[in-house]
Amino acid sequence: MTPGILAAKKAGVPFTVHEYDHDPSAPSFGMEAAEKLGIPPERVFKTLVVRLDGRELAVGVIPVDSMLSMKAIAKAAGAKKAEMASQADVERSTGYVLGGVSPLGQKKRLRTFIDVSAEVFETVFVSAGKRGLDMEIAPGDLRAVCGGTFAPLQDRSGG
């Protein structure tokens, strides 16, 4: 039972846990989840932590087959700039290890932004809090449980 699963249970929202045999040598843990669960990658979302204006940490939740736009998440957060947070900052603030960071049940609640593409699906998949464990949840419930905001976050530059 991970903190992410406990947070969803405590909130009383419906969700389903999906477990798969994780391969530590997989080049992309998110794409591995999509492949092993047989889910289109645009329905499987990864959780990324950024640092805003060199100070505040925030979370971006985007499809595993896309790139996070630093300009877009900074704009959504009302910041001037964003950069990826260090592994140490991510693990310290969320309580999770990289590759298993859930947007739910983080040690320190960070402002969370979920890509608007999630809204077109009945359910999406996010990490349940450890590698090899995903949670299927309705986008609105995900937003409610993590106190998130929907915003366009994907890098559309094509490069």
Between the two ends of the chain, the Cα-to-Cα distance in Å is 39
pLDDT value of residue 14: 98
Q: Is residue 28 scored above 60 in pLDDT?
A: yes
Each domain of the chain, given as residue ranges in start order, spans: 3-151
What residues form DSSP beta bridges with 82?
52
* Residue matched to tokens 């402002």: 111
Q: Is residue 86 scored above 60 in pLDDT?
A: yes
Q: Is residue 36 scored above 80 in pLDDT?
A: yes
Please tell us whether the domain made up of 3-151 is placed in CATH 3.90.960.10: yes
